[in-house]
Amino acid sequence: MPQQIRISAKHLGQLALTDFCPRCFWTRLRCSDKLPFQIFPGVFASFDSFQKKVTALHHQKYSTAPKWLDGFGDLGEPLPIPHHSVFQTIDTATNILLTGVPDELFRRKDGSLVILDNKTARFTTNQDVLLPLYDIQLNAYAWISERLGMGTVSKLGLVYYEPMTELTTETIDTVLANDGFSMRFQAKVLTLDLQLDRIPPLLQKVREIFDLATAPAGRDGCKDCRLLDGLVKTVMG
Length of the chain: 237
Distances (CA, A) of 1 to 93, 96, 130, 132, 213: 10, 11, 34, 31, 17
pLDDT for position 232: 84
Counting as low any pLDDT under 50, the low residues of the chain are none
Pairing of strands 113-119, 153-163: parallel
Q: What's this model's pTM, rounded to 2 decimal places?
A: 0.93
pLDDT for position 35: 77
pLDDT for position 124: 79
Tens-digit pLDDT profile for residues 92-116: 999 999 999 999 999 999 999 999 9
pLDDT for position 53: 94
Domains of the chain and any CATH numbers: 5-236 (3.90.320)
**222 DSSP 8-state letter:** -
DSSP one-letter string for 195-220: -GGGHHHHHHHHHHHHT-SSPPPPPT
pLDDT for position 156: 98
pLDDT for position 100: 96
Query: What letter represents residue 180's amino acid?
Result: G
Distances (CA, A) of 180 to 81, 97, 174, 226: 32, 44, 12, 43
